Homo-oligomer: A and B are copies of this chain.
């Protein structure tokens, strides 16, 4: 039974109790870097138990110069897609003894900067970063020398590591899928138009249409936010000008909003209007109808991201990962 600790028990106490030196206690706890005689080791272990000693990770971090901590900076953890990324990342990081500091920017650019600064002060050994907007604070991070992987589409600025699917291609593919269903009028609901991934998804959509000689109609591009509400609003906006045959929502939240609005308008998916989306999560398999969506390999991304941070610095700046078209019923497939 551990002693009651009035004063925090430190390694000195353990050493005294075990009748040995602090160094030996360290060696036992860390299994190195020096070997310890079995008998001594047992005495130390006993002393640790008796004193109820717990190592202080902060002191260890200071002395060893390693915090075993990564920072995760994202716009909003309650976005299911980002939550699934966070889930995978923390799992992967923990495999390597690392823990994640959660930096949820609440969709605020100001907050995002504060968070990055804060995490940097805390000596995170790497940052996994998806920015709220098109101008991530990479200079801030780089000037600190902290390893960083962006999960965003990013200006091909020098030295930034980024992990991403080829969004233009993915958008092309999913639009193409709609075209193969025979749809000719295909609308797109976008996020903020200045964002690079918005532009990529948009241009993938355009490419597919152009390739199929379908022509691009301005009226079917509805740019706004990557939110449920915006998806919802977009439908009502479309209602005024007449609906396309199919809609490409550029993220899953928007698609949820679409489903709701379409149901209110008594429009059936996919019979009356087809719907597909980007970056679906498992929830897309549970909507009615199930959503056809571009699915990112979240586990692979997490694995790769941690890998990049661990092998820092590395050359391969931009790293592309495969996406997958997850076919649901919402596009017309049965």
Tell me if A118 and B99 are in contact (CB < 8 A): yes
Interfacial residues of chain A within 257-283, with CB under 8 A of chain B in the complex? 257, 259-260, 263, 281-283
Q: How far is the CB of A36 from chain B (nearest CB, A)?
A: 21
A87 and B80 contact, Cβ closer than 8 Å, known pairs A102-B72, A286-B228? no
A311 at the interface (CB under 8 A from B): no
Q: Which of B69, B86, B120, B289 contacts A104 (CB 8 A)?
A: B86
Give chain B nearest CB distance to A225 CB in angstroms.
14
Task: Determine whether the beta carbon of A90 is less than 8 Å from that of B61.
Answer: no
Q: Mark A122-140, 1 if CB is under 8 A from B, else 0.
A: 1100000000000000000
User: What is the minimal beta-carbon distance from A267 to any residue of chain B, in angstroms?
Assistant: 11
| Contact A263 to B282, CB < 8 A, known contacts A99-B103, A104-B91 | no
Of chain B, the residue at the smallest CB distance from A52 is B143
- Closest Cβ of chain B: how far from A279's Cβ, in Å? 14
CB of A70 to closest CB in B, whole Å = 10
Contact A54:B120 (CB < 8 A) given known A99-B102, A228-B286: yes
A54–B283 CB distance below 8 A: no
Residue from A102, A118, A120, A285 whose CB has the most chain B CB atoms within 10 Å: A102
A16 to B312: give the CA distance in the assembly, Å.
32
Interface size class, chain A: 35 or more
A166 contacts chain B at the CB level, 8 A cutoff = no
Given the contacts A72-B102, A102-B100, A290-B260, A86 and B94 also touching, CB distance less than 8 Å: no
Least CB separation from A100: chain B residue: B102
**A76 to chain B: closest residue by CB:** B87
Query: 10 nearest interchain CB pairs?
Result: A57-B121, A263-B288, A83-B83, A78-B87, A57-B122, A256-B286, A102-B102, A100-B102, A78-B83, A90-B104
**What would 9 A/B residue contacts be, using CB atoms closer than 8 Å?**
A55-B121, A56-B62, A77-B87, A87-B106, A99-B119, A99-B122, A228-B282, A228-B286, A263-B288
